Structure 1
């Protein structure tokens, strides 16, 4: 049991630590990051219940609808809702890169609890595969969501556009990920290039967020220096 818990938790904490430590300016309060992680973890239970009802009642019989609605939209919407309602207005969300940290945190909270459940069901021998695919993909969906939420909060214009994209970009990517798993017979041949693309995109957005934070902090410094002259 301890081995399964460790294997289930370790990938999420490792990925969260990576994106957290990439914050080049004021690091986010650990308590707020942990709170966001817990919110994501708690989302597993109502979402799994709704998905169970969908399956039991055969509400979503199409693979396409199942991939994009039952899994992707349901999960990404609630993660997006947590970020928008709890994190977006919070005082600690004070630079664009913070969206990356909180986006990864809420997603990895969800992915970690889901991962533990799957490992208890399937066995610890699946730990590496789940770390490389479901856990890391959730982290990257969260990074992309957080990037656009951060861009929306700190952009002078088009705020609503970026907020909308912050939901639909991870929704589309997550749905595509699930559709490959559900429908492709030789899914690994499609999943490997998709995951390479997803890592490239996620790291690119994290880098862009750091650049935005640098510009934002530079402007704040300039304003403070002007004010104190």
Structure 2
């Protein structure tokens, strides 16, 4: 059996979230945000994990179906929780002054959330075996951690657009962004669960959903940067 130092395991579990924060932060090439605000949103993303987990736990008592929890409850509660900390924590700050900022701050909050979630999953897997922990790190680093950022890019871009849109349009822009993010999150969870049984679900997950979300995120980033210029 492979032995892994717990500090090394902690670093490996936290690493993907930090890497993707760096990635999205550096996509804002025209007017990068203050690093301390990006860090603040990352920490708020970690903090909101606790009330989100509490709400999901309470709903889980009332709804016994793991599929319903994963495909309906989790996408709604988690995306709204991440949105909430960005909306309340940075939206009215004077540094939030262009559409790309919505993507950067949303991704940072989402990756804070994903990082704590990743630590929980990895150390839970470690109780089974070190190999299980390593496998969890690899799979989540490739899919689950960046997926949280990709979902957030959708409503984050909507939030960035809404701030500079006419007041009567803002609520609709944000609502549409949140709904799209929640639907993609639900589809992500559904395919990931059913992929254990159906090979077709895995093919759709890897060949359609993941590339599609990256294309959508890159399109939003390109449009946001175009608005900056």
TM-score, normalized by the shorter chain, greater than 0.5 = yes
* Greater displacement, 104-113 / 44-53: 44-53
Give the distance between the partners of 2:66 and 2:151, measured in 1 at CA. Answer: 23
Query: CA offsets per residue over residues 33-75 of structure 1, 9 Å max, x none?
Result: 11110010111122222223333x2425373x32343210000
Which secondary structure state, in structure 2, belongs to the residue aligned with residue 91 of structure 1? Answer: coil
Q: Which residue of 2 aligns with 1:194?
A: 209
Number of the residue aligned with 1:79: 82
Tell me which residue corresponds to 2:130.
Answer: none
Following the alignment from structure 1 to structure 2, what is the Cα–Cα distance between the partners of residues 96 and 29? Answer: 15
Q: Deviations over 1:182-221 (max 9, x none)?
A: 344224222102111111111111111111111xxxxxxx
CA contact (8 A) 1:42 1:110 kept: yes
TM-score (norm 1): 0.86
Partner of 1:171: 182
The answer to whether the Cα contact below 8 Å between 2:154 and 2:178 also exists between their aligned partners in 1 is no
Question: Shift in Å at residue 3 of structure 1?
Answer: 1.6
Name the structure 2 match of 1:217. none
Alpha-carbon contact 1:47-1:75 (below 8 Å) kept: yes
Measure, in 1, the Cα distance between the counterparts of 2:164 and 2:20.
Answer: 25
Q: Could you tell me which residue of structure 1 aligns to residue 129 of structure 2?
A: none
> Quick check: 183-192 or 29-38, which moved more?
183-192
Superposed, 1:1-229 pairs within 5 Å as 1-55=6-60, 57-61=61-65, 63=67, 65-122=68-125, 123-156=133-166, 158-184=169-195, 185-186=197-198, 187-192=201-206, 193-214=208-229
Question: TM-score w.r.t. structure 2 length?
Answer: 0.86
- On the 8 A contact 2:48/2:113 being kept in 1, the answer is yes
Equivalent residues of 1:68, 1:171 under 8 A apart: no
RMSD, aligned CA = 1.7
Instruction: Give 5+ residue unaligned stretches, structure 2.
Output: 1-5, 126-132
Query: What 5-or-longer segments of structure 1 have no aligned partner?
Result: 215-229
Q: Is the Cα–Cα contact under 8 Å of residues 12 and 108 in structure 1 kept in the other structure?
A: yes
